[in-house]
Structure 1
């Protein structure tokens, strides 16, 4: 991968529906060249798939995060499935697995159940992700379109209209709304093992004090190394970064820890990442049964 490939991948991670021509305009090449490079990254398995990431809270779920160590990540996942449906799973270098599950019932009871199930592995961290108070007003029309987009978030408006029976105007209006919705992200899943000299990594930052101010400092200092936009949740920030040298990665981690307002940092090097959508399909089935046009209040109840 060269610098242009990294820039294109970064754009797709932040919004995989962004038009090739617009990406090209922003990085200084033609839309045709962007399309060609995207196809090459797909062919080389750098881009595994395009994905729709939905914040579970807006569909009425609580979220539990786990950071555990153990050689058999599949076994860990099988145990966690006894507690709730997996949301995402990221095995990392060093036998560390970062994952999250969605649960409908009391999250504190589910957390205790998970600890008992994982007593034979080392649990580095387990916590409930508090509701980030993201506002989302999904309608039944949006839900129908989301159901189609889960198969391929980059589908053309005309194809979505054909499958849904909605007009292209209705589909275009819903897509614009969804792309501006904080709770929904059109993104991509990449394979770190196929990225050559590019090393993706993540830094989990614990913040004391003003999170927005700390994020602004991090953005000013490290935006050139961001692979995608940081994820902010309560008093934590996840920085998704890249480097071409493992020693630079360690240096970056040290520099992040020196930023005023940083309370703690944890460094993770992913081996792969998986989004799982069974819980979304279950939520969509329930949403389609609703008699209301605007579904958020009913889903939250």
Structure 2
């Protein structure tokens, strides 16, 4: 892996539908060279699969994240499934696991239940995502397109038109709408353990400052080192970064901590990333069959 590979990986993580030619123009290489590097990363197992990441609240579901410190991941997942459904599982260095949990209702009760189930392990934190920007404006056509994109988010417009029996004009319009929705991400799953020469990590910055203001500060300081667009939670900004060495990673974490407005920081180094898609397939099927388009009313 070299810096060009990392920049290509970064662009695909933020939008895997971005054409190879466009990525090449941004990086000063040909689209063919970009395609070759993507193929190389797939063969090496660095890119495991391209996928669609949808924030559960967009589809009328609640969600929260729990961070635990335990070596017994199977037991953790078993307990999570008693309270909700895992949609993101990220085991990290040091026995830490970050899990995104979906619940249909009574979120606070489910959080309390899960904390009781986790009495034998150290629960480091539980936090909710920032859902204030989510707009529930999906139509049945949007859901139909999403359903086709689950298996292959890079599927070409012509193929989407054929599979859905919708016009290419309708597909184009629908894709533009979906790509502009901040709750939907055309991304990929990568294997951090197979990236040689770079370390991928996340720094969670706790702040009491205005989030948009903090985002601007972080982007000005670390934008060139972003692996992915930052994730926002209540009073927290999660920065996804990459560095050439553990020393550079340590230096970057210290720099995040020194940004005015940052209260505390935590460093997470992922060993594996898993994003189960069964929940998404089932939810889209339920919504498509529903007689109402008001997602909050769909069981």
CA distance in 2, matches of 1:218, 1:163: 42
Pairing 1:144–2:144 present: yes
> In the alignment, which residue of structure 1 is the partner of 2:118?
118
CA distance in 1, matches of 2:130, 2:175: 27
Tell me, yes or no, if the aligned pair for 1:157 and 1:168 is still in contact at 8 Å.
yes
TM-score when normalising by structure 1? 0.95
Unaligned ranges ≥5, structure 1: none
> In the alignment, which residue of structure 1 is the partner of 2:208?
208
CA distance in 1, matches of 2:225, 2:130: 28
TM-score when normalising by structure 2? 0.96
Secondary structure of 2:135 counterpart = coil
Runs of at least 4 residues off by over 6 Å: none
Pairing 1:285–2:285 present: yes
Q: CA deviation at 1:75?
A: 2.1
Pairing 1:266–2:266 present: yes
Q: CA deviation at 1:139?
A: 0.6
> In the alignment, which residue of structure 1 is the partner of 2:160?
160
Q: CA deviation at 1:9?
A: 0.4
> In the alignment, which residue of structure 1 is the partner of 2:5?
5
Secondary structure of 1:176 counterpart = helix
> In the alignment, which residue of structure 1 is the partner of 2:224?
224
Secondary structure of 2:57 counterpart = helix
CA distance in 2, matches of 1:3, 1:223: 15
For residues 225-258 of structure 1, what are the alpha-carbon distances to aligned partners after superposition, in whole Å with 9 as ceiling and x for unaligned? 1111112233211100001111111111111111
Secondary structure of 1:29 counterpart = coil
Tell me, yes or no, if the aligned pair for 2:127 and 2:233 is still in contact at 8 Å.
no
Q: CA deviation at 1:8?
A: 0.4
Pairing 1:236–2:232 present: no
Tell me, yes or no, if the aligned pair for 2:130 and 2:232 is still in contact at 8 Å.
no
> In the alignment, which residue of structure 1 is the partner of 2:295?
299
Structure 1 residues 88-103: aligned runs within 5 Å: 88-103=88-103
Tell me, yes or no, if the aligned pair for 1:179 and 1:185 is still in contact at 8 Å.
yes
Unaligned ranges ≥5, structure 2: none
> In the alignment, which residue of structure 2 is the partner of 1:47?
47
Q: CA deviation at 1:130?
A: 5.1
> In the alignment, which residue of structure 2 is the partner of 1:29?
29
How many residues get paired?
Answer: 297
Q: CA deviation at 1:107?
A: 0.5
Secondary structure of 1:265 counterpart = strand
Secondary structure of 1:89 counterpart = strand
Structure 1 residues 15-26: aligned runs within 5 Å: 15-26=15-26
Larger deviation, residues 280-289 vs 81-90? 280-289
> In the alignment, which residue of structure 2 is the partner of 1:253?
253
